[in-house]
Structure 1
Amino acid sequence: MSASEAGTWMQYSKRFKPDNKVFREYLSWLWKVCVRPILVEGNFGVQQSKQDLPSVWWIGTGLASSMPFHAAGHHSPQSEENVFNRAISSYAPSIKALVYARERSLKRDVIIESLLLVTMRKTPPDLPSLDGVEHEKKAILKSIHTYLKTQLLDHPNADTSGLVFHKDDSDYISGLMTVQAVSGLKLERSRIAYISACSIPTDTTVKLRDEAIHIMSGFQVAGFAHVIGFLWHSVDRVCVKVAKRFYESLFRGEDTKVEDIDVAMAFHESVPAVRVAYRNQPLIWAQFVHYGA
């Protein structure tokens, strides 16, 4: 880590220390009043092996739609009173959306042959730069198999990529592709969408949380059986670690046949790996979520 990176990390840690304390209390409260009773009723006990973990889908309504049920609990090194030790968590905006995603997943070929990696470090003037993008791209490319057909798009515009980038190739002017436009896409062979955004300013957290949920839902409607996203901002180095671990877990073998449980399991392994290192700072690891079948 460079001196500047270390300085940035220390500033971030100090700035969020009080909020992390409050958030840890919130996760404990959420575990006590909501999540633990549900898991006990469903007979979700502590599992010693990750392979034995059952799956659970969280569907919240109203204010509960943005609650981090997957991160509820106590996260001290010795504690088993948390969701990570009892279930593989996924989310869905509604039961109808979950059924739709599972039906589409069952109908398609599960062989993953190609990957589209889109990066945008430099953003429009009114938005913060995503300085960790290059590090995340390199980490992903090292984690995937060389026989996967990989297409790289750097700073493409919305028309060529179908994502949120800039209006043309000569100026970094915001070219917004709305959630409605994403939802209208019919991507019959799409399977996994990994949406990563780091270093988002703190004053956008509440607004971003609602937008992120709609974005993930939009990609599901477009045809993706699985969407990896976030509920609020994080920091670059954490995003890199989560993405790297996810792709390493997903493609750990030589077989590119990927079942739904493989995606959920790969994601379940990627977040706890960061959680172990930053147990007292849940605001930088509890926002990563999996929406899907």
Structure 2
Amino acid sequence: MPGGSDQFGHDVDRRMALAREWDELVEQVRAIEGFEDFLQPPRLETLLPAAKGGPVIIVNVSRWRCDALIVTPGGVDVVELPELRQDTVVDQVQAYLDAVTTRQVATLRGTRRDMDATVSSDTVEAALDRCLQWMWDAFAERILDRLEHNKGGGRRIWWCPTGPLTLLPIHAAGYHRSPGRSVLDRAVSSYTPTLRALVAARAEPREQGGAPGRMLFVGMPDTPGQAPLPNVDTERDLLHERFDGACTELIGERATRDAVLAGLVNHRWAHFACHGEQDLADPSRGGVLVHDGQLTVADLSSQQYQGEFAFLSGCKTAVGGANLPDEAITLAAALHYTGYRHVIATLWSVWDDEAAEVADNVYGAIVRDGVLHADEAAAALHHATRALRDRHRNAPSVWTPFTHTGP
């Protein structure tokens, strides 16, 4: 045996010394403020502040059982979900993705009239409607009943889905032709990728960097291989009006990857009016399409911002990955993780007219005297979405994609 017993004893001593050194280094890290839980599961008391503004609902999906964990400042309430099954969730998600893909084909043609000419809009809308109703029956109604959210629609809740549910529009669950039987009728919904992310977003904002009181506008009216976005100019004009001209423009050829990344560092508010792409097999490769290519989730995650608000008026900016559903790696989540406290995004392709309308309504509610009040973003989006829903109850593809992530 090469080395003999002496070498063996030396190797054992060396490994024991390295183990002691590792333990000492971990203890040093845990002594640093903010790193007390380094390499440990977080303590419950450090996560409960996430629910300071309202309950956070973690919907857990597994092959053994499914439950909702309702997190409040006082603790965690478990709601059993016997109607929710992992195999059914997978089937529903697949049907939903099929409908969304069909919807995307029509959107690339540019208008809802084109959709009627290329695919059956009734078929797409019916598939989306079935998904919304299934979510209501399987878990949403039971959860809201436990919360006693059965009157009005002004109370805040945060959804933290897991597994394949990360791909579905839980905020839109319900029977929208029956008043009061939907999440939209009972609560103002937001999303959070994790409890820790929400705790961090609720912390007192750091000293704001970047250009004070300026909006960064990134617009791509024409993108190779994509439908034109004629309302980019409309969105730009409405922002100039709301912010009294305090708006930095990166449009067309000026909207390069480097320019956008630099702009995000120097602006607290950002608005993207461009197409987006999502790679369901590799979510980190998804992103928004700018002049010289794609600004990816990985690009955005490479640096830290001090932003308050981002509006992603693009396609598929909040869709996660099919093969990694427990990892909420979306463009919206990436911006949120890296410093933008509030992010409005879209789950799938949206019609250009409706995107501009929602943007106008949201900014009309949260911008006063050129100042953006980001903490009002969730309620503003909720009311804008309800207004669209009330006009298009039979067309959920029009109003279900819009989401809010943040405190």
Check 1:208–1:126 CA distance in 2 against 1; reply closer, same or farther (3 A cut): farther
Give the structure 2 partner of residue 232 of structure 1: 348
Give the structure 1 partner of residue 378 of structure 2: 264
Quick one: higher RCO (CA 8 Å, sep 6+), 1 or 2? 1
Check 1:8–1:127 CA distance in 2 against 1; reply closer, same or farther (3 A cut): closer
Q: 1:215 offset after TM fit, Å?
A: 0.7
Q: 1:164 offset after TM fit, Å?
A: 4.4
Deviations 1:179-201, CA, capped at 9 Å, x for gaps: 1220122212x110101125xxx
Q: 1:122 offset after TM fit, Å?
A: 1.5
| Residues 1:209 and 2:319 aligned together | yes
Selected match of 2:361 from 245, 255, 271: 245
Conserved 8 A contact 1:250-1:263: yes
Q: Which runs of 5+ in 1 are unaligned?
A: 1-6, 168-174, 199-204
Counterpart Cα distance in 1 of 2:168 and 2:334: 19
| Residues 1:116 and 2:216 aligned together | yes
What percentage of residue pairs aligned between the two structures are identical?
28
Give the structure 1 partner of residue 260 of structure 2: 161
Give the structure 2 partner of residue 281 of structure 1: 395
SS of the aligned residue for 1:59 comes to strand
Per the normalisation by structure 2, the TM-score is 0.59
AA matched with 1:71: A
Conserved 8 A contact 1:54-1:86: yes
More strand by share: 2
Selected match of 1:97 from 197, 212, 224: 197
Conserved 8 A contact 2:150-2:186: yes
Counterpart Cα distance in 2 of 1:85 and 1:208: 23
SS of the aligned residue for 1:245 comes to helix
Q: 1:257 offset after TM fit, Å?
A: 6.5
Check 1:13–1:234 CA distance in 2 against 1; reply closer, same or farther (3 A cut): farther
Q: 1:236 offset after TM fit, Å?
A: 0.9
Selected match of 2:179 from 79, 86, 101: 79
Give the structure 2 partner of residue 132 of structure 1: 231
Check 1:26–1:191 CA distance in 2 against 1; reply closer, same or farther (3 A cut): same
Q: CA RMSD in A?
A: 2.7
Per the normalisation by structure 1, the TM-score is 0.80
Counterpart Cα distance in 2 of 1:244 and 1:258: 15
Deviations 1:90-136, CA, capped at 9 Å, x for gaps: 00111122222222x54456xx722111111121x344433332233
AA matched with 1:209: V
AA matched with 2:169: P
Check 1:135–1:259 CA distance in 2 against 1; reply closer, same or farther (3 A cut): closer
SS of the aligned residue for 1:98 comes to helix
Conserved 8 A contact 2:171-2:184: yes
Counterpart Cα distance in 1 of 2:116 and 2:190: 28
